Every structure is written in C-alpha cells, then in structure tokens.
Amino acid sequence: MEKEIAKRLASRKLKQIKNEKLVPSAVLLLLVEKDGQYHVLFTRRSLKVEHHKGEISFPGGTVHPDDSDLLETALREGAEEIGLAPGDVMILGRLDDILTVSTGFIITPYVGIVPYPYAFQINKDEVAELIFVPLGALVRDGCMKASEVTQEGKAITTYAFDYQGDMIWGATARILKQFLDITIDTTGRGDTDNGAGDSTSNRSRDSKAECNGVPWARDKVPQP
C-alpha cells in the first residue's frame, strides 16, 4: 500500500502557498499498520498549548530558524511532541499546502509510515493523547460531514469527521480529506476490515469509540 500511496503523491502537481505575512509550519500525517490494517495517527492537543487547545490534530508546528526545510520542521516537531525519531519515519510524499485564516498559518503536510508497535514518548505539555483511527472508519458513509461557510465574502466548503462527541475539523480535517481523496479509491469506501483492537502500550489506558460501527483505538496519557 505504501508504494501505491507514494506513487500517487509523486504523480500530482503540488499547490504551494507563498505569503510572507503568514507563518510557515509543517505537520506529519502518519500511518501505522496496526492489527492487520492501516491507521492514521492523531494527537489531541493539551490544554497548555497556545493555539487549538484540546483539539485533534497531526503532530507538527512552526518553522524554527535552524530548520533546513519544512520536512525537517515536521520531523523535529514529531520528535518533540510524541518522541518519534526522524529516522524511524518513512516519508511517502507531500500534500498541498493548507491555509488557516483565523490563526495565519501556512501548513505543509507530509505523509509517512511509522513502525508499530512503537515506544512513543508523549510531551504532556503539548499532547494529551494519541488516537489511532482505522482508514476503514474514515471512509465509511456518514463519517465525514461537509458544510458551507462564508469567509471574506466567499463560500468555502468545510469538512468535519465526527465520532461520539469528538470532532476532527478545521485544517486537520481538510488535510485528511485531501489525503483520502488522493489515496483511497471511491469503490473501496466502507470495505476495509473494521477491527481496531486494543493498544499494547503498557504506560497508557485504552478506550474505544466508534464511527458507524468501526472502533477507534485511543492511547490515553494520564494527566498529572
């Protein structure tokens, strides 16, 4: 599967945003092969961070002066937030840049694969929990919701992935939608095996939620 994803990402023309008034940043959309199927790794932001407290997001952050490029930014942030060694990430490609109107960021997403199980080390100042979502859950009918909003006089379609009161929305949802549109065939929607299983982490407790019958496995980090 990773070869096909890399091929599709490499075959398209990237849309890049250049604006010196906005803050450049980068994130990692990470896949793990867990319990016989691919999952997307999300983080829930802690309540201590400056922006988007408590929201579900991808590991990532803003560019530092010492970063050689945006990929280094994404990998450095992954190491700082969840203890992911840059050498353990196989980068498959890059998605189009995403603009956040309210906070003024340009987000460059990179897609990668991480071995599993993995000894993630979560920075509790930035991340409250890891959430592993099966691709099969994300492409089930009814899991994604679309709506139109008006920004600066223009109608814009927004997306949200809703499950048991939690919401993946905003830039994270737009990045996720872009990834799914590129990599998941329409004819395959809903046909993925739906067993998510339990986490093997010995330093966290597990819970399950569902989106249309597909379990979402969470690795909770006890808060001090």
Whether 45 maps to a domain, the answer reads: yes
pLDDT of residue 219: 55
- Segment 43-64, tens digit of pLDDT: 998 867 666 567 899 999 999 9
Whether 223 maps to a domain, the answer reads: no
Look at residues 5, 49, 57, 52 and name the one whose alpha carbon lies nearest to residue 26. Answer: 57
Distances (CA, A) of 179 to 56, 123, 149, 185, 207: 16, 26, 22, 11, 26
Q: Rounded to 10 degrees, what is the CA torsion of 56, 1, 120, 162?
A: 20
Distances (CA, A) of 31 to 145, 162, 221: 22, 20, 20
Q: Give the E-state strand segments of 136-175 in sequence order.
A: 144-151, 154-163, 166-168
Q: Which residues contact 224 (CB under 8 A, 6 or more apart)?
A: 124
Phi, psi (5° rounding) for residue 110?
Answer: -115, 140
**Number of domains forming the structure of the chain:** 1
- Segment 177-189, tens digit of pLDDT: 999 999 986 323 4
Q: Which residues contact 15 (CB under 8 A, 6 or more apart)?
A: 96, 97
SS (H, E, C) 190-213: CCCCCCCCCCCCCCCEEEEEEECC
Tell me the pLDDT of the chain averaged across its residues: 82
Can you tell me the mean pLDDT for 143-155? 83
Whether 224 maps to a domain, the answer reads: no
Query: How many CB atoms within 10 Å of residue 96?
Result: 17
Distance in angstroms (rounded) separating the CA atoms of residues 88 and 199: 20
Check pLDDT > 70 for residue 213: no
What residues make up the domain containing 134? 2-218
Tokens of 71: 């990929």
pLDDT of residue 218: 59
Contact indicator for 175, 192 with CB cutoff of 8 Å: no
Residues facing 38 on adjacent strands: 33
Can you tell me the mean pLDDT for 53-76? 94
Q: What is the CATH number of the domain that holds 40?
A: 3.90.79.10
Whether 167 maps to a domain, the answer reads: yes
Contact indicator for 25, 106 with CB cutoff of 8 Å: yes
